[in-house]
Amino acid sequence: MTDTATRGAPERPGALGRAAPALLGYAAVRALGLAVLALWSAANGKSAHTLLTARWDALWYARIASGGYGYEVRLPSGDVHSDLAFFPLLPWLERMGAAVSPLSHADVGFLVSLCGSLAAAWGIFAVTEHLYGRRAGVCAVVLWAALPVGIVQSMAYSESLFTALAAWSLYAVLTGRWLSAGTLAALAGLTRPVGLAVAAAVWAAAFTAGGRTGSGGGRGGVPGPERAPGDGVRRALAVLLAPLGAAGYVLWVGHRTGAGPLGYLDVQAGWRNGFDGGLAFARFVGGRFASFPSALAGAALVAGVGLAGWLYVLCLRRRQPLPLLVYAGIVTALALCASGYFGSKPRLLLPAFPLLLPPAVALAGLRTSRSALVLGGLAAVAAGYGAFWLNGSGPP
């Protein structure tokens, strides 16, 4: 009996039909964002295509895809920006796509991001519908699309690809499809350093699954079907598979740099990026209040951090399944407690979609007209902010 044969699967008849409203809503919100970006960029004499495919991280990914690893920039300060900081799955896909099509590496990255964002939206819907019903699933997807930094979902970045792999891995965990969960977690680990959060979620689910009852309930709030013969073996394989992507790349970087298992940390240090528990970020936020109007930015940062914390508390209070709590907690902690790239923290929180489930459930309880008004307003704000953000000077 195979892993997929014994489990409820998203591919069962009607799965795409149930997800269709969520995917259509997602596509509409992102199309609005891209349209506003195109108009705003044209008014400023800039190319929306360039902003989406050929700036900041997108340039690093395309360079890796075209020439492999080994490029670095040495700054006057002595810092070394090495392309080894970027995980390989997106560049691999860009290279493969460019090899079989007339598209450039950057355009393939853009296409991967668009497809990945739709896959992520479907995965978010699948997780939310499984836990809270179809209406909440639609609201969760549209909320994710309408985040202020939602434009990143349409850039040649790795966030969309990673969120898709993470969401479907979590769905596989919730439905007891252990081999799928472990494989997707390993691929997520090849996409971004925070892929270890997906592996940790798989571990948490596997280690608590032994307490499930015959009806499918279990410790840690993990709903699932009855256990089948060989379930323990599949769980063990998932535990082994889940960290292989991230661990394999980190060890390869250590070997390449000659710095051993901690070599990747040295690479990140060259970018002045590390984990300090949020001290550098706190100092950065505090510095915003030294003058006006930067104090407004400081207040917005404080509000954003407070909102993320409040949403996580809601997830805890509403007893979200343990794998989702572990995943969202690690993604949030790594985003907020990193010591560099403070302006990028909002997009680093983009994969933490479980934080959106409490407001999605609340919106699902409203009349359709009211929830549509709220979501439409958020989409309009996000479209304007995304265009303003990408037309600025700093990286998202």
User: Residue 8 above 60 pLDDT?
Assistant: no
Give yes or no for a contact between 80 and 270, defined as CB atoms under 8 angstroms apart. yes
CA dist list (Å): 350 to 38, 121, 288, 308, 321: 22, 12, 23, 11, 20
**The pLDDT value given to residue 190:** 98
- The 10s digit of each residue's pLDDT in 196-255 is 999 999 999 999 986 554 444 443 444 454 466 678 899 999 999 999 999 999 999 999
| Residue 113: both structure tokens together | 């991001």
Round the average pLDDT of the chain to a whole number and report it.
90
Q: Helix H segments across 44-104?
A: 48-53, 57-67, 89-99
Using CA atoms of 67, 92, 351, 198 in order, give the dihedral in degrees to the nearest 10: -120
346 vs 338: CA distance, rounded Å: 12
For residue 319, pLDDT over 70 is answered with: yes
Specify the pLDDT at position 268: 93
Across 287-305, average pLDDT: 85
Tens digits of residue pLDDT in 186-196: 999 999 999 99
- How much is the average pLDDT of 168-173? 98
HSE-up of residue 155 (Cα within 13 Å, Cβ side): 27
Entry pTM: 0.92
> How many other C-beta atoms lie within 10 A of the C-beta of residue 16?
11
> Average pLDDT for residues 143-171, to the nearest whole number?
97
- Residue 171, pLDDT > 70, answer yes
CA distance 6 to 16: 20
The answer to whether 254 and 260 are in contact (CB under 8 A) is yes
Mean pLDDT within 46-57: 94
**What is residue 164's predicted lDDT score, i.e. its pLDDT?**
98
